Structure 1
């Protein structure tokens, strides 16, 4: 009797398993995808921060690794994924809002942003955030701003706010009490970025960010984009023969005063470049992602900002791991830059000051 009951139970289980196997899976519901191809040039640029021609060029550069191997489940094309990511870069709104605009789920929007950011940083960033080959044109344009000779770039830092991270939270608290990433950039007179470093949390001082950057190591090792060219920066940075800061040598000297005025006028370029970057990519007003992903997005946005313009051929800085992201639980240290001044820096500064003696 027990054997009969056991066999009956096994038969019922087999029947249930068979019914489950043949039962049809509930069909997925796909929302209609919005077609953004038939809008005006202004509206297209307003949404995606690029013209339609630039978008097609970007698709040709990074589209291959984004292409799905199958079209099952209404897989997005490379162009659609790039449009979703660019739309988010240009608005910075919530994922579900972008999903409603494009007829996608929130998870799909996140995957698009993550994949496009990675593709741009692999295939575009290192090729477009570089020193231009025609640095004589850069020097001439900088000279037209405030008559400073041989300037090849301007360096400064900006704090990009992020949500409080779950790891090393206190290290990301900046001097304003917000959680942020300290981004260092070097730009030219046309507001193109020549170098971007987004590897450090907001608590780290600008001078420390520079000292731990690939740019600093390359310059200290003797690399120069052009002979006798130099970068200018504010007093947060040390005075070097390749980095001129507003160190007061002769406070009552007219030439010194003229230098300080022209230095300040030229240094505004990097502040304007950062303003253009945040206007081009409003997502940078506050990034609600983890710090490592935020650092990648910042580099990606800088590359998009450069890509939206026509650039010359570029000359790269030959160094390894230039864009490697680091996590540092740093402190807001105030450096005494006068103690870090080398003799060559003082001599170079005096030469520039003498340029304004008449």
Structure 2
């Protein structure tokens, strides 16, 4: 049993002197009060120190596990990644999807947003490790627990800072995903015309279901037509596999009609976003508009209609390849993301921003073999991404089959042009 403290004995003795204290003059009483308070403070301090020493001695609480405290010596950041950075830069790029130079640049862009201050209780986790953990997560889709063991960072900390770092990445790189200016529109149109033989085309549009873990009590809100839970990523790609527009977060169940019509790009397209009366191209899921060309439906098509569909599919293949490269580089998108919805949105946006940034600033992000190509005779050669991943599910029909007459007439103009002055030598071979 704990011994009775000296403070307790002092308190018992106070009653014996009460009558004497009352008979003293006021000045003497004030001096005595001050002395008593001083004595009480000293006794309480001594008592508190004794209690703390006893609690520490019991050893019941460990602030940080020992294997986590060894992070700076045995964690992946200190050992493996440092060795790869010095000895094998190509494997470093495979591990984090960025070169060492890319990493250093990205760290300088996000450092001030993700670095916290040290406290009296512990040192803050370095921004460098936060970025390494986040890039590993995006590149592999590794579980938080596996990341915790690999980097020696606690799982609760990882679950907090990964969404924060993803938001910081998107904020730092969002300038690489923007509606093109006049000069950029011109470059995109030239690219589609010379590389994909589709004049006055300013982009390729598609939407994909990003698999997620259904939120609690969400019912069928995120349950899509493929009977999985998802959010929708709607995007427009330019001629060079970069996203010029993204819309993230629509519910998977909304795919039957609302995703495109409720997006901001729809309103801009309706208000003449594209220059020179140009178009973007999409698959059969999208409505036929004066600014959006889609294939002729059905199977009993004329030769002219088949040629148009073939030529449109070549241009539309850009967005399909952009999505394929995105998922092959950032495997977190390949399987259900096990986070809350706000974090999912941040993760998807960060992946898209990194995709554009790396495509525009490095030559190694997309190689000649990883995208679909056609040889000189028009034979289709699939990109390597098709054999590496499970492609994201496409969204369902985004409009009715009833299209404006002026839109149908515009498609007819393209059809006739592709059979005359705009024809390519291999197109008839490619439709049979």
Deviation at 1:347, TM superposition (A): 3.2
- Number of residue pairs matched by the alignment: 330
Could you tell me how far apart the structure 1 residues matched to 2:206 and 2:10 are? 76
Partner of 1:337: 400
Q: Does structure 1 conserve the Cα–Cα contact (< 8 Å) formed by 2:304 and 2:415?
A: yes
Alignment of 1:1-358 (within 5 A): 17-22=48-53, 24=56, 28=64, 29=66, 30-33=69-72, 34=75, 35=78, 36-39=81-84, 40-70=88-118, 73-125=122-174, 127-132=175-180, 133-205=183-255, 207-224=257-274, 226-248=275-297, 252-285=301-334, 286-310=336-360, 337-339=400-402, 341-358=403-420
SS in 2 for 1:169: coil
In structure 1, runs of 5+ residues without a counterpart are 1-5, 313-331
- 1:35-81 per-position Cα deviation (integer Å, ceiling 9, x unaligned): 22331111211111111111112122222111222376232222221
1:220–1:20 Cα change, 3 Å: farther
1:9–1:92 Cα change, 3 Å: farther
Partner of 1:317: none
Deviation at 1:7, TM superposition (A): 5.4
Could you tell me how far apart the structure 2 residues matched to 1:148 and 1:60 are? 40
In structure 2, runs of 5+ residues without a counterpart are 1-6, 13-42, 363-394, 421-432
SS in 2 for 1:158: strand
Deviation at 1:114, TM superposition (A): 1.7
Q: Does structure 2 conserve the Cα–Cα contact (< 8 Å) formed by 1:153 and 1:230?
A: yes
Could you tell me how far apart the structure 1 residues matched to 2:298 and 2:262 are? 27
Q: Does structure 1 conserve the Cα–Cα contact (< 8 Å) formed by 2:166 and 2:347?
A: yes
1:256–1:306 Cα change, 3 Å: same
Q: Does structure 1 conserve the Cα–Cα contact (< 8 Å) formed by 2:285 and 2:396?
A: no
Q: TM-score, normalised by structure 2?
A: 0.69
Could you tell me how far apart the structure 2 residues matched to 1:71 and 1:199 are? 37
Could you tell me how far apart the structure 2 residues matched to 1:50 and 1:66 are? 19
Could you tell me how far apart the structure 1 residues matched to 2:333 and 2:306 are? 36
SS in 2 for 1:153: strand
Could you tell me how far apart the structure 2 residues matched to 1:9 and 1:143 are? 96
Deviation at 1:94, TM superposition (A): 0.9
Could you tell me how far apart the structure 2 residues matched to 1:250 and 1:18 are? 86
1:277–1:106 Cα change, 3 Å: same
1:113–1:254 Cα change, 3 Å: same
Q: CA RMSD in A?
A: 2.9
